[in-house]
Structure 1
Amino acid sequence: MAAQNFDTIVIGAGPGGYVAAIRAAQLGQKVAIVERENLGGICLNWGCIPTKALLRSAEVFHLMHRAAEFGLKADNLGYDLDAVVKRSRGVAKQLSSGVAHLMKKNKITVVMGSASIPAKGKVRVEGDKGTEDLTAKNIILATGARARELPGLEADGDLVWTYRHALNPPRMPKKLLVIGSGAIGIEFASFFNTLGADVTVVEVMDRVLPVEDAEISAFAKKAFVKQGLKIMEKAMVKQLDRAKGEVTAHIEVGGKLEKQKFDTVISAVGIVGNVEGLGLEELGVKIDRTHVITDEFCRTGVDGLYAIGDIAGAPWLAHKASHEGVMVAELIAGLHAHPVKPESIAGCTYCHPQVASVGYTEAKAKELGYKIKVGRFPFIGNGKAIAMGDAEGMVKVIFEEKTGELLGAHMVGAEVTEMIQGFVIGRQLETTEEDLMHTVFPHPTVSESMHEAVLAAYDRAIHI
């Protein structure tokens, strides 16, 4: 069978790949996309989306327990874990079908199967129908990443889970150990804790949510502990002894080794890029610790081969992948493309309370030699947060002293994942403290705390 020819072939149909394919098609290219599992990738099917659906159920359950505070009555509270999971799978399915519709609408050829690149400009797909050969001048790698597995701590789907097992749990854990307190670990810890599991989180770094500003981490930790989470920092799980229905974890903390028993373990210790089996080394692609090395325009150094999203390294975020996909499609079409700046990409964690940030932490800004002004505002001074019964939170902003450049913004509390975009836009438009001070924020909204934090950096806050 003769090879099918395209202008651009995208390998991987996650939020990087499918967006790149759509943008390339919009720009008049003949596009094929290869996917070995589900359209929408991990994000839509086993990541961002279904976890948010689960966390929403936990949030509603948490609020039901607080009914009396709001003058409401709710008795005999309970949940059906299967129904909670079924709802989250339904949400994922709806969005995955939506991607299939978008592929059809944009006349993108979808090829299901595992891809390899036997030579420059060639893609071989092994699928249910046998082998298909495709050719294109441009190939975009968007193969994503999977859970990192540490030796001895490998998942078995029964006692030890990855995020995949946790999204479709075979049972409700009673005593749960979560290894790793990044976004994935803390979100699952938050979910199962709210549903009544006894949860312990072990973090190798000196604080939970280690990529966040230290002050925000400390605030979040206090809230987690208040909710009953047990948190062990500067700790490491050395081994897991598996027996019938239980796991004994050997945890090294403060130079001592202690043993604790759990019925379930979730390993959330990072990710590794899906670089195997593609034939990348043979093509001359440079790989460093499972990630493809690229320049700021996602070029791999091999003519016509680009890498976007998780496979191209941190930050491992869906929205970064999507923007890189658009940028590469525009670059291929000869448009003036702008590189994606990692420090302008917001990070959001949907635990309770939520955490969101963009730009530099206070420590990083100082390390880079900036003279800074820092402003903070607590939600307890915000009318809307108090009315919502969610006054646990704060906004922290960091400005460059001389120019008033917004270097970073960090938030913890109710709906901060929806508010962070205000500061993201501010940074994109190169806003200064003066612009933000002169912006009229609507009242009553939680977003007013963003305004007050800016004012606080210059000793002008009104409500504290």
Structure 2
Amino acid sequence: MSAKSFDVIVIGAGPGGYVAAIRAAQLGKSVAIVERENLGGICLNWGCIPTKALLRSAEVFHLMHRAKEYGLSAEKVGFDLDAVVKRSRKVAGQLSGGIGHLMKKNKITVIMGEATLPAKGKVTVKTDKGTEDLTAPAIVLATGARARELPGLEADGDLVWTYRHALQADRMPKKLLVIGSGAIGIEFASFFNTLGADTTVVEVMDRILPVEDEEISAFARKAFEKQGMKIMSKAMVKKLDRAKGKVTAHIETGGKTETHDFDTVISAVGIIANTENLGLEKLGVKVERGFVVTDEYCRTGVEGLYAIGDLTNGPWLAHKASHEGVMVAEHIAGGHPHAVDPDAIAGCTYCHPQVASVGLTEAQAKEKGLKVKVGRFPFIGNGKAIALGEPEGMIKTIFDEKSGELLGAHMVGAEVTELIQGYVIGRTLETTEAELMNTVFPHPTLSEMMHESVLDAYGRALHF
């Protein structure tokens, strides 16, 4: 059987791969996309989207308990975990189906199966019906990543869960241990804690949400502890003893080991790129610390072979993967796209309170030897936040003292994952404090705090 030829073959149909395929098709290329599991990848099916659906249920549940504060009454407030999970799966299914429609609309050939790269410009796909050989001058690797598992702490789906098990929880944990306090760990801790699980989070670093600005981490920790969460930082789970319906965790902290019993453990200790069984070594693709090494245009060094998204160096975020997908498609089509700047990519965590940031933390700016001006504004000084009944939070902005460049912005509080984009646009447009100060922010909105935080960096805050 002769090989089918395309201009571009994309391997992996997550938010990096399917977007790369659409953009390449828009630019007139013939495109095939290979996917071994679900269109939409982890993000749509097992990550970003279904977790937000779960967290929304928890948020509404939390608000129902606060009905009295708003002059409302809600009695016998409860939840049906099965129905919450069903809603989340339905949302994921709807979006995954939508990707199928987009593939059809853009005349992209979808091949379900497992891909390998036997040689440069060649892809072999193992499908239900046998194998298919494909060729293309440009191949985009977008195979994503999976949960990292530590020896002795492996998931079993019964007592010890990864994010996948947690997304389809068939029982409500009573006593929950979450290992790792990055975005995934904290989101699940927040979800189950809000629904009433006795929740403990163990973090090996000296603070939770370790990639965030220290002040934001500290603020978030206080808020979580106020909600009844137990947090152990500078701590490590050394061993899990599993018995019927019970896990005993050996947790090392401050040089001594304590044991604690739980009925459920969620492991969220990072990710591993899906680089195995593709044939990358034979092709001469460089892999470091498990991730594919690329240049700023996502080129692997092998002619015509690109790698995007979680397969490559961080930040491991869906929106970074999508943007890289567009950039690579334009590069393949002979355009001159801008390289993706990791410092201009926002990170969002949908716990309660939400956390969002872009650019440098205060510590990172100082490490670079920059003299900075820092502004802060609390939610308690904002009319809309008080009207919403969400007066806890803060916005912090960091400017270069010399040039007025916006170096970073960091937020914790209600809806900050939506607000952060204002600063992202500001950074992309290379704005300084002067433009931000002269921008008229609408009233009453949470966004006014962004203005006030900028004003505060220059000693001009009006409402605090």
TM-score for the superposition, normalised by structure 1: 1.00
Shift of 1:3: 0.7
Q: Which string of whole-angstrom CA distances, capped at 9 and with x for unpartnered residues, describes residues 7-55 of structure 1?
A: 0000000000000000000000000000000000000000000000000
Shift of 1:127: 1.0
Distance across 2 between alignment mates of 1:463 and 1:222: 24
- For 1:336, the equivalent position in structure 2 comes to 336
1:49-128 aligned at under 5 Å gives the runs: 49-128=49-128
Distance across 1 between alignment mates of 2:313 and 2:325: 14
Distance across 2 between alignment mates of 1:116 and 1:64: 51
1:359-398 aligned at under 5 Å gives the runs: 359-398=359-398
3-state SS, counterpart of residue 454 of structure 1 = helix
Distance across 1 between alignment mates of 2:401 and 2:121: 50
Q: Which string of whole-angstrom CA distances, capped at 9 and with x for unpartnered residues, describes residues 205-240 of structure 1?
A: 000000000000000000000000000000000000
- For 2:244, the equivalent position in structure 1 comes to 244
- For 2:21, the equivalent position in structure 1 comes to 21
Distance across 1 between alignment mates of 2:286 and 2:128: 31
Shift of 1:289: 1.5
3-state SS, counterpart of residue 13 of structure 1 = coil
TM-score for the superposition, normalised by structure 2: 1.00
Distance across 1 between alignment mates of 2:129 and 2:205: 48
Distance across 2 between alignment mates of 1:366 and 1:127: 53
Distance across 2 between alignment mates of 1:290 and 1:454: 40
Q: Give the AA of the match of 1:231.
A: I
Residue 283 (str. 1) matches residue 278 (str. 2): no
Distance across 2 between alignment mates of 1:10 and 1:172: 39
Q: Which string of whole-angstrom CA distances, capped at 9 and with x for unpartnered residues, describes residues 412-456 of structure 1?
A: 000000000000000000000000000000000011000000000
Distance across 2 between alignment mates of 1:8 and 1:155: 37
Residue 221 (str. 1) matches residue 209 (str. 2): no
Does the 8 Å contact 2:397/2:409 carry over to 1?
A: yes
Residue 320 (str. 1) matches residue 343 (str. 2): no
Q: Which string of whole-angstrom CA distances, capped at 9 and with x for unpartnered residues, describes residues 121-140 of structure 1?
A: 00000011110000000000
3-state SS, counterpart of residue 6 of structure 2 = strand
- For 2:358, the equivalent position in structure 1 comes to 358
Distance across 1 between alignment mates of 2:228 and 2:18: 40
- For 2:428, the equivalent position in structure 1 comes to 428
1:129-278 aligned at under 5 Å gives the runs: 129-278=129-278
- For 2:308, the equivalent position in structure 1 comes to 308
3-state SS, counterpart of residue 171 of structure 2 = coil
1:407-426 aligned at under 5 Å gives the runs: 407-426=407-426
Shift of 1:313: 1.6
3-state SS, counterpart of residue 7 of structure 2 = strand
Does the 8 Å contact 1:158/1:170 carry over to 2?
A: no
Q: Give the AA of the match of 1:436.
A: L
Identical aligned residues as a percent:
80
Report how many aligned residue pairs link the two structures: 464
Distance across 2 between alignment mates of 1:430 and 1:294: 26
Distance across 1 between alignment mates of 2:369 and 2:129: 58
Q: Give the AA of the match of 2:160.
A: V
Q: Give the AA of the match of 2:394.
A: M
Q: Give the AA of the match of 1:197.
A: A
3-state SS, counterpart of residue 336 of structure 1 = coil
Shift of 1:170: 2.2
Does the 8 Å contact 2:176/2:262 carry over to 1?
A: yes
3-state SS, counterpart of residue 119 of structure 1 = coil
Shift of 1:363: 0.1
Q: Which string of whole-angstrom CA distances, capped at 9 and with x for unpartnered residues, describes residues 137-181 of structure 1?
A: 000000000000000000000000000000001211000000000
Q: Which string of whole-angstrom CA distances, capped at 9 and with x for unpartnered residues, describes residues 43-97 of structure 1?
A: 0000000000000000000000000000000000100000000000000000000
Does the 8 Å contact 1:8/1:138 carry over to 2?
A: yes
3-state SS, counterpart of residue 461 of structure 2 = coil
Distance across 2 between alignment mates of 1:292 and 1:184: 23
3-state SS, counterpart of residue 118 of structure 1 = coil
Distance across 1 between alignment mates of 2:447 and 2:265: 37
Q: Give the AA of the match of 2:420.
A: I
3-state SS, counterpart of residue 247 of structure 2 = strand
Distance across 2 between alignment mates of 1:2 and 1:160: 47
Q: Give the AA of the match of 1:200.
A: T
Q: Give the AA of the match of 1:226.
A: K
Does the 8 Å contact 2:81/2:170 carry over to 1?
A: no
Does the 8 Å contact 1:182/1:208 carry over to 2?
A: yes
Q: Give the AA of the match of 1:302.
A: V
Distance across 1 between alignment mates of 2:290 and 2:369: 32
Distance across 1 between alignment mates of 2:363 and 2:407: 12
Residue 296 (str. 1) matches residue 293 (str. 2): no
Distance across 2 between alignment mates of 1:170 and 1:114: 30
Shift of 1:402: 1.1
Distance across 1 between alignment mates of 2:358 and 2:336: 25
Distance across 2 between alignment mates of 1:364 and 1:422: 21
Distance across 2 between alignment mates of 1:311 and 1:361: 25
**Unaligned runs of at least 5 residues, structure 2:** none
- Runs of 4+ in structure 1 off by over 4 angstroms are none
Q: Give the AA of the match of 2:161.
A: W
